[in-house]
Structure 1
Amino acid sequence: MSPPVAPSGWSRRLVPPAALSVHLAIGQAYAWSVFKPPLESALGLSGTQSALPFQLAIVMLGLSAAFGGTRVERNGPRWAMTVALVCFSSGFLVSALGAATEQYWLIVLGYGFIGGIGLGIGYISPVSTLIKWFPDRPGAATGIAIMGFGGGALIASPWSAQMLDSFGSDSSGIALAFLVHGLAYAVFMSLGVLLVRVPRGERPVESGPSNVEGVQVSARSAVRTPQFWCLWVVLCMNVTAGIGILEKAAPMITDFFADGSTPVTASAAAGFVALLSAANMAGRIGWSSASDRIGRKNVYRLYLGAGALMYLLITLFGDGSKPLFVLCALVILSFYGGGFATVPAYLKDLFGTYQVGAIHGRLLTAWSTAGVLGPLIVNRIADHQKDAGKDGADLYGLSFVIMIGLLVVGFVANELVRPVHPRHHVAAPEEAPDARDQQPDSA
């Protein structure tokens, strides 16, 4: 299958909106916490159990991106966006059936497994295309598109809360909300499928790297380098720290200030989720654009170092001040989003544009790991503390200390990143990757 090639005179400015239409839809994943309390009430689930669809979706995101990255490079962004549309929307439809019949395993299968595949393929679908269209500003280009994934919950969170208010928060109301999500996102994502194009003269991956300057490394060679694994640790630690708050955002802020004179209402908690989404979205474009000027390593120093400081402030003083808690959470989520948007440009700097989408897909297995670690750490410790008779901010103190330690580990890994050794480079444009991959590993 050949990707659609841009006709003469095609404006590259049309490509980011195509990517945004997909990323804004699949970014709904960050609004999952709005569904947690209704699901727990309607189906009798614990916090750990209600996190399972989200966790599995993030696992499948990383795995599908890793295993499908090379095919996305080969078949192009339109194929990838179509697969994402089918999987993501049908995942909601299966989840609707599960909620209607009160079969929770169907929600896990639909939203987590099927929808998660749509997340992974949809997430990486525009990355290499954007970098090829905007070689002069790779950080800003990928930030604009990936911003949509962070901003998806800005739309989905209040939208979902309003649907649950209108339809009801019982199993039938949740089912109807899932159904509307699936149908609406199918229509919206189709806009990106129809609009996206690849640059004229772009060579297929089988024929080797294009005639461009700089380092060019194949996907198989990239995973044999220490640089890839250092970035894997950096991304995993940054994502774990952010996703732990994001997945449990609505109940977390409610718990933190449950004993105060002005407890947080359900609508205010949904508003907090939307604010986090806005910070996530702003960080993706703001910090990734800044990385074009100050460098990728420097901006990750900020994400990881200042992120640890924000967690420390929440741990020590967060339960005494709503503004401080919200501000620190917003900064953490801006770093979380910025980390996602900056990493494709970081990969491009280290490994070149050749197969950067496939390399990015493999790196997203770090997201799969973090998608399990972050919610597991926060939910399991909170459930344990609740069983021990504790409440409020005491449910999360130990979790936040762990997050600080993980961010320090990520900071050290970022410091270890160095230029890729020339032995990993693809030396000539005519050298096919398959031939190189069959050579003995000299790493």
Structure 2
Amino acid sequence: MTTTDLPTTVPYREVTDANGRTYRLGETDIDIMGRKRKWMVILPWVGMMGISSAEYAFASAEDTLHTAHHWASGHIFWMMTVWVFFQASVAFPAGRLRESGRLPARWAMMLGSAGTLLGYLSLAYAPHVVFAYIGFSMFSGMGAGMVYATCVNMVGKWYPERRGGKTGFVNGGFAYGSVPFVFIFTGVMDLSNFRTVLLMVGLFLAAVVAVAGLFFKDPPKNWWPADVDPLNPPDDPRARRSLEKNPPAVKQYSPMEAWKTGRVALMWFCLACTSGVNIFGIAFQVDIGKEAGFASGIVATAMSLKAIVNGTGRGVIGWLSDRFGRKRCLLNVCVILGLAQFGLIWSANTQNLPLFLFFSAVSGFGGGAIFPMFAALTADYFGENNNATNYGMVYSSKLVSGLGAGMGAVVVGAWGHTGAFILAGSISFFAGFVALFLTPPGRPKRGKITPNPQPISRDAH
């Protein structure tokens, strides 16, 4: 691997398909950036792991922070809610800046690194809870949003012919990267060392994000792998199967065009529901485990299992979606996530530890798998050129779903854990019903396809 960006001098040509979509052919990944494109999977994956602990391990530090700073317990859940709000709010404007060229990928990662460090510093040294909201919830949230949007969209641009598995793998780093920190925050950190632990964790994770981001580079607009023919079934059986199940967008949709199709609003609603259920589970699974009488070490193990399966499940569902289709996998994930909420509260109420661990894993799988599905669907439906902005619109649904922690506390107070988890499961089922209406824009519905007498153009422009 080299740090040198090689300006390509390789001739390329542009071809158009029957829909008028343009593909830029001829340049290889090595021609463009001096290294193979697999690095644009590995490095974004590392960057995602660097920001994961702020969301997935934060709840594990609740008791220590509450006691050390004398914060009310409700503040911890609302800090997480505000963190998610800012993480989601930055996705759309960051996407616009990225695609306009005013915010290179490397600079987005550097900003994310700085936000990560500020977040942990504020948790360690905040003289008042307001400073923790500003440092952790706002700056760390925005930094994580920068990193998340950059990493997810980067891999989709470099693998347009089979993005599902690759996007899922990168997305998975956002969950299982937090596993060591769940144990650090529950087993190592205490009132005597919490500042030192938070400082060291912040420095380490900020460095991870910054170093990974140094090597980021986008491909040119409309780029397509030189060895994959976009106008004919590719020789690679994996790429051929993926393109059959998930055909590329009929054109490169601008954000306004994408919004007018109505699909963005449907995706936004479905992701708001399912990610809200996921965040609710992250915030309250520790509580129901303790309420059931399980030892704190067991509860930490359950959370770690949830995070591991949450992360690995993203890669698995991405790979499956390349084989069986994105929408079919999304519908199954909504059902699995809903069933897991009923299973969690049932196993906690009956104090059945093996089932509690099992449903924790299932909930982790469902909660994680939704994100790569929507990331890949956005590019499938609207193209890669404006994907950072288009996915930013979809991902902004976390502005609402972040209430899964804060409002979840309100629902738990009114209905108890049983009522809250039943509501969460029902919401996931309803999201699956809404997802039934998702179809790729610009393509005729099945059964209404008529032969196209126009031959496909392969002329260079």
Greater shift in the superposed pair: 151-160 or 284-293: 151-160
Q: CA deviation at 1:46?
A: 4.1
Is the 1:150–1:284 Cα contact (8 Å) retained in structure 2? no
- Letter of the aligned partner of 1:236 in structure 2? A
Task: Identify the residue that residue 14 of structure 1 maps to in structure 2.
Answer: 39
What pairs up with 1:333-352 in 2 under 5 angstroms? 333-352=364-383
1:82 aligns with 2:104: no
Aligned equivalents of 1:45, 1:114: Cα separation in 2: 20
Task: Identify the residue that residue 163 of structure 2 maps to in structure 1.
Answer: 138
Aligned equivalents of 1:317, 1:253: Cα separation in 2: 10
The SS at the match of 1:416 is coil
Q: CA deviation at 1:120?
A: 0.6
Task: Identify the residue that residue 286 of structure 1 maps to in structure 2.
Answer: 316
Q: Deviations over 1:65-118 (max 9, x none)?
A: 1221111233332121111111221222233220xx3x1111111110010000
- Letter of the aligned partner of 2:436 in structure 1? E
2:329 alignment partner, one of 299, 304, 307: 299
Q: Which consecutive residues of structure 2, in runs of 5 or more, have no partner in the other structure?
A: 7-28, 224-229, 232-247, 444-461
Q: CA deviation at 1:56?
A: 0.9
What pairs up with 1:40-439 in 2 under 5 angstroms? 40-73=66-99, 74=101, 75-98=103-126, 101=127, 103-164=128-189, 168-169=190-191, 173-199=193-219, 201-202=220-221, 214-255=250-291, 257-258=292-293, 263-265=294-296, 267-320=297-350, 321-372=352-403, 374-384=404-414, 395-421=416-442
- Letter of the aligned partner of 1:254 in structure 2? K
Task: Identify the residue that residue 37 of structure 1 maps to in structure 2.
Answer: 63
C-alpha distance 80-417 of structure 1, shift in aligned 2 (>3 A): same
Is the 1:222–1:359 Cα contact (8 Å) retained in structure 2? yes
The SS at the match of 2:398 is helix
Aligned equivalents of 1:136, 1:143: Cα separation in 2: 14
Aligned-pair identity in percent equals 19
The SS at the match of 1:12 is coil
The SS at the match of 1:186 is helix
Q: CA deviation at 1:235?
A: 0.8
Aligned equivalents of 1:30, 1:19: Cα separation in 2: 18
Q: CA deviation at 1:197?
A: 2.5
Is the 2:314–2:372 Cα contact (8 Å) retained in structure 1? yes
TM-score (norm. length: structure 1): 0.82
- Letter of the aligned partner of 1:174 in structure 2? F
Aligned equivalents of 2:266, 2:277: Cα separation in 1: 17
C-alpha distance 134-39 of structure 1, shift in aligned 2 (>3 A): same
Aligned equivalents of 1:30, 1:365: Cα separation in 2: 19
Q: CA deviation at 1:61?
A: 0.7
Q: CA deviation at 1:176?
A: 2.6
Aligned equivalents of 1:308, 1:270: Cα separation in 2: 22
Q: CA deviation at 1:213?
A: 7.4
Aligned equivalents of 2:195, 2:259: Cα separation in 1: 42
Q: CA deviation at 1:191?
A: 2.1
Q: Deviations over 1:308-349 (max 9, x none)?
A: 222223344442211112211211211111111121111111
Q: CA deviation at 1:421?
A: 4.2
Q: Deviations over 1:244-285 (max 9, x none)?
A: 111233233111x22xxxx312x3322222111101111110
TM-score (norm. length: structure 2): 0.79
1:27 aligns with 2:52: yes
Aligned equivalents of 2:98, 2:80: Cα separation in 1: 24
Aligned equivalents of 1:136, 1:335: Cα separation in 2: 25
The SS at the match of 1:223 is helix
Is the 2:30–2:36 Cα contact (8 Å) retained in structure 1? no
Is the 2:268–2:393 Cα contact (8 Å) retained in structure 1? no
Is the 1:33–1:249 Cα contact (8 Å) retained in structure 2? no
The SS at the match of 2:161 is coil
Aligned equivalents of 1:132, 1:318: Cα separation in 2: 43
Q: CA deviation at 1:45?
A: 3.9
Is the 1:93–1:182 Cα contact (8 Å) retained in structure 2? yes
Aligned equivalents of 1:203, 1:408: Cα separation in 2: 37
Greater shift in the superposed pair: 135-144 or 45-54: 45-54
Aligned equivalents of 1:314, 1:91: Cα separation in 2: 31
Is the 2:274–2:367 Cα contact (8 Å) retained in structure 1? yes
Aligned equivalents of 1:50, 1:90: Cα separation in 2: 17
Greater shift in the superposed pair: 215-224 or 16-25: 215-224
Aligned equivalents of 1:230, 1:152: Cα separation in 2: 30
Q: CA deviation at 1:160?
A: 2.7
- Letter of the aligned partner of 2:276 in structure 1? T
Greater shift in the superposed pair: 37-46 or 215-224: 37-46
Q: CA deviation at 1:202?
A: 3.9
The SS at the match of 1:248 is helix
